Amino acid sequence: MRRQMRIARRLTIKCAPAVVALTGLLAFAGCETFGSIAAGVGVATGTLDRSEAQAVRDSATAVSRSFEDFTPEQEYYIGRSVGATILDQYETYDAEAVNRYLNKLGQSLALASDRPELFAGYRFQVLDSQELNAFATPSGLVFVTRGMLNLAESEAEVAAILAHEIGHIEHKHGLKAIRASRINTALTSVALTSVQVASDSEIAELTETFEGTINDITSSLVNSGYSRGAEREADRTAVKILRRVGYDPYALRRVLEGMQAAWSPDGPGYAQTHPSPQDRIDDVEDEIPDDATRDTTAPPARRERYQAAMGGV
């Protein structure tokens, strides 16, 4: 309630200078070049009537939208539903020790990414599956299977898996999977731009677009997989993050080698959803120093906490 009042107060304060500006604009209506600017100012601060707002809306819909135009709040709602859809197909593995550890590790890695702040932050959850797989939703929810975690042999390798998923979020790969026509509909729909509270039919229409959006993303995550280019971007981001915090980036290569050994082109999970691990190694090799030059010693505290958390998985 107090917060609402604070918002209301600020909105009121913001309006005052704009009203003055708009009055000025109307007085000098001869300067037609200012028409579009005036509309923008007025709408943003609540001084336009409905027909004028409609005009602004029409001009807004003429602009082609891209995945970049989704706000973090929209990403949040998209991601929640992508997550719920994934959990419709996978059981969670809720052992406290490993999920707590994964969240501390993953949230720390996210702070070293170029996108440390999301609408509601990053969360990490183990899935009870022996597939080699991991998924990142646009909202910052990262799922990793037990099979994938078991492939890792150190904290740095778990970090490599999580950092790769953070890479997908940083590059908005989930949103890029949404069909362009749908993005336009989603971001210019009546329910989004109307000055009125959306009607039931408008909400129904928007929900249909939402459904298509969730389907585009989940089918890309679960069935078709990201392109080789997207995987390369996520792997390169993973190396960058590992380096920034001080993990051996070779850990990513170790994970990819382990996946390659288990890989079959028609196998379940990762095999279907990604380019081959060998392709990925080839694409990121120049970023990772040669095996012989690396320092493999991890402090005892790091090894101990890894063992304690992963022991039962």
Are 152 and 247 in contact, with CB atoms under 8 Å apart?
no
Residue 200 to residue 220: CA distance in whole angstroms? 30
21 binds other proteins (CB under 8 A): yes
179 binds other proteins (CB under 8 A): no
* Stretch in the footprint of other proteins (CB under 8 A) among 144-152, 217-225, 227-235, 243-251: 243-251
Candidates 2, 51, 246, 266; binder of other proteins (CB under 8 A) is 246
* Stretch in the footprint of other proteins (CB under 8 A) among 128-136, 196-204, 265-273, 288-296: 196-204
244 binds other proteins (CB under 8 A): yes
141 binds other proteins (CB under 8 A): yes
Residue that has been written with the tokens 């190396």 in this structure: 239
Candidates 191, 221, 230, 288; binder of other proteins (CB under 8 A) is 191
31 binds other proteins (CB under 8 A): yes
Give, to the nearest 10 degrees, the angle between helix 250-262 and helix 155-170.
90
Minimum distance from residue 308 beta carbon to other proteins (Å) = 13
Q: How far apart are the first and last CA of the chain?
A: 45
172 binds other proteins (CB under 8 A): no
- When computed from its CA atoms, the radius of gyration of the chain, rounded to whole angstroms, is 24
Question: What residues from 259 to 288 belong to the interface with other proteins (CB under 8 A)?
Answer: none
8 binds other proteins (CB under 8 A): yes
30 binds other proteins (CB under 8 A): yes
The set of residues, in sequence order, having a beta carbon less than 8 Å from that of 42 and lying 6+ positions away, is 18, 22, 48, 52
Minimum distance from residue 264 beta carbon to other proteins (Å) = 31
DSSP assignments along 40-97, one per residue: HHHHHHT---HHHHHHHHHHHHTSPP-GGGS-HHHHHHHHHHHHHHHHHHS-B---HH
239 alpha carbon, distance to own chain's centre: 18
* Stretch in the footprint of other proteins (CB under 8 A) among 78-86, 218-226, 262-270, 281-289: 78-86
